[in-house]
């Protein structure tokens, strides 16, 4: 089978690593991929936004399956385009991807189907939004409706701050993404991520994980794309998983099918686990980054038959087999991230780090300068390790981090603290 993987981050490197192990694979192409993926597949110089170019390439190369990593090409209709040329695509249609691309769309769907989530209102008028705020209590949760690269959510402690956020959002701070906004009730609890794969009808659960969104130790500092992750997440028990499947994931898949936009791909549920059980914060129409990487480390079975079956609407009977081992991931980011940072510094010691037990390193923002790996982004490397326990996985990941010589980068030193407290 010939597979084309779209994307260039750590998530895609881990998917490439897993796909490359499949005995079904004859060729793997990565568009555009990253230096870490070059030993696993052929890098193709196509941007993930270039849907026309990707479709042409897939047709000419007679690709059997396209796997889409990031959300932007999904929201732009890459799956719909590939469908017109009969190439199976793992990833939802533009319409089904609305569950990520429009927060208002998702909230309405939850309300219609009794899916547990925060109470909310949708607004495009600032006076109406401010009037609604008066009925809420602090902290106030204000969200731009559209895709804002994870930056469209503001949690305000005071009414003044919340009103300012409303004005700024509706004034175009997020461009098109902010012409409408959602105001939500604040949910208390512990966050976890859960993933399930669907072909529009059948649903295959994956496993729970947690990430660390803040830049610095103690969950302090600005929000980032994610500074680390681990799986399993002890807070996400089997009972909670069952609850999430029956009260959140299954009604969502049914609702989308009934709306005429069946969901094919991976559903990423961002959950708040509170005293009344799990509630949905949001969905993403893609794998989490860095949660995908720790799941790929724990997946024992071949991923390719499941991705292909989901893309073809033939998921019934498929399943995954998971390792009992834990997996942990530490992100190495460029100094300054998520603010301004420099590119081009050299990273040494990767071979020694990778040679340690249980360790795999996935590239995110890297570039090759000759044979030297250099930093080329904010989140640069994902150091992952598996272990018999969460503690062992975390210790192994940090042992690998300590082999890496890169003064221009930093990492958090407390990845997995919630898991380790429970262990
Ligand atoms: P989102 O982009 O919707 O996932 O929101 C980003 C982050 O904001 C989430 O990961 C939560 O930490 C927080 N958040 C969003 N909505 C709520 C809410 N209703 N209550 C509490 N925290 C929230
Ligand atoms: N781990 C956060 C995200 O993928 O959005």
Assign residue 266 the CATH number of its domain: 3.30.470.20
- Measured in angstroms, how far is the CA atom of residue 150 from the centroid of ligand 1? 10
Host domain of residue 179: 120-184
- Measured in angstroms, how far is the CA atom of residue 193 from the centroid of ligand 2? 9
- Measured in angstroms, how far is the CA atom of residue 86 from the centroid of ligand 2? 30
* Domain end call among 50, 77, 93: 93
Q: Is the per-residue pLDDT at 395 higher than 90? A: yes
> Which listed ligand is nearest to 136 at the C-alpha?
1
> Which listed ligand is nearest to 223 at the C-alpha?
1
Residues 159 and 249 in one domain: no
What number does the ligand 2 atom closest to the CA of 226 have?
1
- Measured in angstroms, how far is the CA atom of residue 62 from the centroid of ligand 2? 32
Residues 235 and 130 in one domain: no
Measured CA to CA, the distance from residue 128 to residue 130 in angstroms comes to 5
On whether residue 109 sits in a domain, the answer given is no
pLDDT band of 177, cuts 50, 70, 90: low
Q: Distances from the Cα of 188 to the Cαs of 208, 262, 276, in angstroms?
A: 19, 32, 10
On whether residue 108 sits in a domain, the answer given is no
> Which listed ligand is nearest to 142 at the C-alpha?
1
Q: Distances from the Cα of 422 to the Cαs of 101, 270, 303, 390, 419, in angstroms?
A: 35, 21, 30, 10, 5
On whether residue 319 sits in a domain, the answer given is no
What number does the ligand 1 atom closest to the CA of 188 have?
21
For residue range 283-298, list pLDDT tens digits in order. Answer: 999 999 999 999 999 9
- Supply the mean pLDDT for the chain: 95
User: pLDDT at position 149, please?
Assistant: 66
For residue range 119-142, list pLDDT tens digits in order. Answer: 999 999 999 999 999 999 999 999
On whether residue 318 sits in a domain, the answer given is no
Which residue among 15, 71, 194, 289 is best mutated to probe the pocket of ligand 2, counting the most ligand atoms within 8 A of its Cβ?
289
Pocket of ligand 1 (CB under 6 A): 118, 141, 150, 153, 184, 186-187, 191, 270, 281-282
Residues 204 and 144 in one domain: no
Residues 178 and 198 in one domain: no
What percentage of the chain exceeds 70 in pLDDT?
98
Residue 368 belongs to a domain with what CATH number?
Answer: 3.90.600.10
On whether residue 364 sits in a domain, the answer given is yes
Pairing of strands 2-7, 181-184: unpaired
288 DSSP assignment: -
Is the bond leading into 150 cis (omega within 30 degrees of zero)? no
Which residue among 105, 120, 140, 155 is best mutated to probe the pocket of ligand 1, counting the most ligand atoms within 8 A of its Cβ?
155
On whether residue 106 sits in a domain, the answer given is no
Measured CA to CA, the distance from residue 8 to residue 217 in angstroms comes to 27
User: pLDDT at position 173, please?
Assistant: 73
Residues 308 and 197 in one domain: yes
Pocket of ligand 2 (CB under 6 A): 150, 211, 226, 284, 288-289, 291
pLDDT band of 396, cuts 50, 70, 90: very high
Residues 203 and 293 in one domain: yes
Residues 59 and 142 in one domain: no
On whether residue 149 sits in a domain, the answer given is yes
Measured CA to CA, the distance from residue 4 to residue 25 in angstroms comes to 11
Mean pLDDT in residue range 64-69: 98
Residues 173 and 219 in one domain: no
Residues 206 and 302 in one domain: yes
Give nearest CA residue, ligand 2 atom 5: 288
Residue 154 belongs to a domain with what CATH number?
Answer: 3.30.1490.20
User: pLDDT at position 150, please?
Assistant: 64
- Measured in angstroms, how far is the CA atom of residue 412 from the centroid of ligand 1? 21
Residues 278 and 362 in one domain: no
Write the DSSP assignment of 110-152 as a string of letters: HHHTT--B--EEEESSHHHHHHHHHTS-SSEEEEESS--TT--
* Domain end call among 42, 76, 93: 93
Residues 231 and 289 in one domain: yes
Under 8 Å CB-to-CB from 12, ≥6 apart: which residues? 5, 6, 30, 33, 34, 37, 69
pLDDT band of 147, cuts 50, 70, 90: confident
Give the relative orientation of helices 159-168 and 126-134 as an angle to the nearest 10 degrees. Answer: 160
Residue 69 belongs to a domain with what CATH number?
Answer: 3.40.50.20
Residues 200 and 173 in one domain: no
- Measured in angstroms, how far is the CA atom of residue 99 from the centroid of ligand 2? 15
For residue range 197-212, list pLDDT tens digits in order. Answer: 999 999 999 999 999 9
Which residue among 101, 110, 221, 281 is best mutated to probe the pocket of ligand 1, counting the most ligand atoms within 8 A of its Cβ?
281
User: pLDDT at position 243, please?
Assistant: 98
The structural domain count of the chain equals: 4
Mean pLDDT in residue range 100-122: 93
Q: Is the per-residue pLDDT at 378 higher than 90? A: yes
pTM for this predicted structure: 0.95
CA 243-393-355 angle, to 5 degrees, is: 140
Give nearest CA residue, ligand 1 atom 14: 281
On whether residue 416 sits in a domain, the answer given is yes
């Amino acid at each position: 089978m010939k597979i084309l993987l779209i994307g260039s981050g750590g998530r895609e490197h881990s998917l490439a690593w897993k796909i490359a192990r499949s005995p079904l694979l004859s060729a793997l192409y990565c568009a555009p991929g990253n230096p870490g993926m070059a030993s696993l597949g052929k890098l193709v110089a196509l941007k993930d936004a270039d849907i026309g170019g990707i479709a042409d390439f897939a047709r000419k190369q007679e690709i059997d399956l396209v796997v889409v990593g990031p959300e932007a090409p999904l929201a732009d209709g890459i799956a719909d385009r590939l469908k017109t040329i009969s190439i199976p695509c793992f990833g939802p249609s533009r319409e089904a991807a609305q569950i990520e691309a429009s927060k208002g769309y998702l909230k309405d769907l939850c309300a219609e189907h009794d899916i547990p989530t925060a109470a909310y209102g949708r607004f495009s008028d600032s006076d109406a939004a401010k009037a609604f705020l008066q009925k809420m209590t602090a902290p106030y949760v204000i969200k731009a409706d559209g895709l804002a690269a994870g930056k469209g959510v503001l949690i305000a402690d005071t009414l003044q701050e919340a009103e300012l956020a409303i004005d700024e959002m509706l004034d175009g701070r997020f461009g098109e993404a902010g012409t409408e906004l959602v105001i939500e009730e604040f949910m208390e609890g512990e966050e976890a991520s859960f993933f399930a794969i669907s072909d529009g009808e059948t649903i295959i659960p994956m496993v729970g994980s947690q990430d660390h969104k803040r830049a610095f130790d103690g969950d302090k500092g600005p929000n980032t794309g994610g500074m680390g992750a681990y799986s399993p997440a002890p807070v996400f028990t089997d009972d909670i998983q069952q609850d999430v499947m029956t009260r959140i994931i299954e009604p969502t898949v049914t609702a989308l099918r009934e709306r005429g936009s069946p969901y094919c791909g991976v559903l990423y549920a961002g959950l708040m686990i509170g005293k009344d059980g799990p509630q949905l914060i949001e969905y993403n129409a893609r794998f989490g980054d860095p949660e995908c990487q720790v799941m790929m480390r724990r997946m024992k079975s071949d991923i390719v038959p499941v991705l292909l079956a989901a893309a073809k609407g033939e998921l019934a009977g498929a399943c995954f087999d998971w390792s009992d081992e834990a997996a942990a991931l530490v992100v190495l980011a460029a100094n300054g991230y998520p603010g301004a940072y420099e590119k081009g510094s050299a990273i040494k010691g990767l071979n020694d780090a990778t040679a340690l037990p249980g360790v795999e390193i996935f590239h995110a923002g890297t570039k090759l300068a000759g044979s030297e790996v250099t930093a080329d982004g904010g989140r640069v490397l994902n150091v992952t390790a598996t272990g018999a326990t969460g503690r062992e996985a975390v210790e192994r990941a940090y042992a690998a981090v300590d082999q890496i010589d890169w003064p221009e980068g930093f990492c958090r030193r407390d990845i997995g603290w919630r898991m380790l407290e429970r262990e």
